[in-house]
Amino acid sequence: MPYSRPALTEINTTALQDIQNANISGVDGLLQRAVLRVLARAMSGLAYEHYGYQDYIARQAVPWTATGEFLEGWAALKAVYRKAASAASLPATFTGAEGRVLPSGTPVSTGNSLAFVTTAAGTVVGGSVTVPITSTGTGTDYNLTPGTSLSLGTVITGINSSGTSGALTTTAADEETDDELRTRMLQVYANPPQGGSRSDYVTWAEAVPGVTRAWCNANGSGAGTVVVYTMFDDAEAANGGFPQGSNGGATAESRTAAATGDQLTVANAIYPLRPVTALVISAAPLPQPISFVLQDVFPSTVNVADIEAALTDLFLRIGDPTGMTLYPSDWTGVISSVAGMDHFDVISPAAPVVIPVGYLPTLGTVAATN
């Protein structure tokens, strides 16, 4: 049974009771302005702070409740480290006079003052020049959508200062939160490394900045292969969390074509960790939208948006691109939990939904009538 920490009022009441029980001659410690009452209140506050510090120590003393640097210490015992925020890389295109050079190291910015810098020089050919740029800061704010307006930070003779961004080549990610780190750490405590087990591949993939979910499909592309599916729910939120790039292996893998984009980032991270003979394919799941038709929804005040949120959460929790089946009991249970819901009838889907390998269930449309 957990220890019940006394409230400040309880401690103060106990202190006053002790003073009263002391039977100090000629002194009534319970008078409103009595010195003993003031001292009791001051000492109660100090005692309450001590209880609070002990409560803090208790939380940091075990990995499942630790926070901050203490959580990082517990995680480090299992070689799990907080994922740092990362920068974004993408191409930028500017127009200009033929033959003009846009130097490496040129500052570039967006209309909302996000700063980038060119990482290679480029020469204007056919009226335009495209160069790679990398953000000077980190975090998902730097994940620009293609076509975002850019401006050169310095004047380059013969090159227009206004340009546009291309598709991301490296997706930026925010620093991992305590909850995210704790989840990965406890997963390793529960599944110790085994030199290339299914859980090892999941652990390796989820250690990549931006990756929030991962799955391993042994022999998913033939004997001796390991297909690792990943999702970037935060970094690629604009794309439904689905990685952007092409499936394939690591840059150093000679037995298959190299992946690109987010998939390449994952493949390169896993390559030095995998068993030496394993051919690892980093892949993005494909979405399989599932639409719902509900009738006799009662009461009429039930919000369809709440139903959509419940179904979206269901798919997020149990979706598995290595092959799965969704059953009516799965969606009926979460719809029943929607606030205010009394009863309903699901017309479609009317039977279990099979999700093929390589696909993740996503929410299509929800039609609900009373």
Which of 22-26, 107-111, 344-348 comes out lowest in average pLDDT?
A: 22-26
Mean pLDDT in residue range 311-322: 96
pLDDT score, position 15: 86
Residue 24, pLDDT above cutoff 80: no
Q: How confident is the model at residue 20 (pLDDT cuts 50, 70, 90)?
A: confident
At 327 the pLDDT is 96
> What does the mean pLDDT of the chain come to?
93
In this structure, is residue 180 part of a structural domain? no
Q: Provide the β-strand partners of residue 231.
A: 213
Q: Is residue 50 part of a domain?
A: yes
pTM over 0.85, yes/no: no
**Model pLDDT, residue 74:** 97
pLDDT score of 299 more than 70: yes
pLDDT band at 329 (very low <50, low <70, confident <90, very high): very high
Q: Is residue 82 situated within a structural domain?
A: no
Average pLDDT over residues 73-89: 95
Q: Are residues 202 and 276 in the same domain?
A: yes
Structural domain includes residue 230: yes
Q: Do residues 279 and 292 share a domain? A: no
The answer to the question of residue 18 being in a domain is yes
Same domain? For 250 and 297 the reply is no
Query: Does 178 fall in a domain?
Result: no
Which residues, 6+ apart, have CB-to-CB distance to 296 below 8 Å? 343, 344, 345, 369, 370
Please indicate, yes or no, whether residues 46 and 117 belong to a single structural domain of this protein: no
Q: Tell me which of 233, 260, 283 is where a domain ends.
A: 283
pLDDT of residue 153: 95
Q: How far apart are CA 72 and CA 189, in angstroms?
A: 14
The answer to whether residue 1 scores a pLDDT higher than 60 is no
Determine the average pLDDT of the residues in 295-322. 94
pLDDT higher than threshold 90 for residue 217:
yes
**238 plus 279 within the same structural domain:** yes
Q: What is the mean pLDDT of residues 210-230?
A: 96
Query: In degrees rounded to 5, what are phi and psi of residue 38?
Result: -65, -45
Q: Tell me, yes or no, whether 116 and 158 share the same domain.
A: yes
Are residues 108 and 56 both part of a single domain?
A: no
Separation of alpha carbons 16 and 39, rounded Å: 10
Q: Is 1 within a domain?
A: no
Assess whether 220 and 277 both reside in one domain: yes
- Return the minimum-mean-pLDDT range out of 13-17, 29-33, 221-225, 232-236: 29-33
Residue 27 reports pLDDT greater than 70: no
Give the single-character DSSP code of 125. Answer: B
303 in the same domain as 272? no
Domain assignment present for 321 = yes
Return the half-sphere exposure (C-beta side, CA atoms, 13 A cut-off) of residue 264.
Answer: 14
What gap in Å lies between CA 20 and CA 316, rounded to an integer? 60
Q: Are residues 274 and 331 in the same domain?
A: no
* Span 45-54, average pLDDT: 92
332 and 301 part of one domain = yes
Do 277 and 222 belong together in one domain?
A: yes
pLDDT grade for 35, boundaries at 50, 70 and 90: confident
Task: State yes or no: pLDDT of 151 exceeds 60.
Answer: yes
- For 262, the domain range is 194-283
pLDDT value at residue 313: 96
Q: What is the DSSP letter of 191?
A: S
CB atoms near residue 220 (< 10 Å): 19
What pLDDT does 3 receive? 75
Domains of the chain: total: 4
Per-residue pLDDT reduced to its tens digit, 158-206 = 999 999 999 999 999 999 999 999 999 999 999 888 889 999 999 999 9
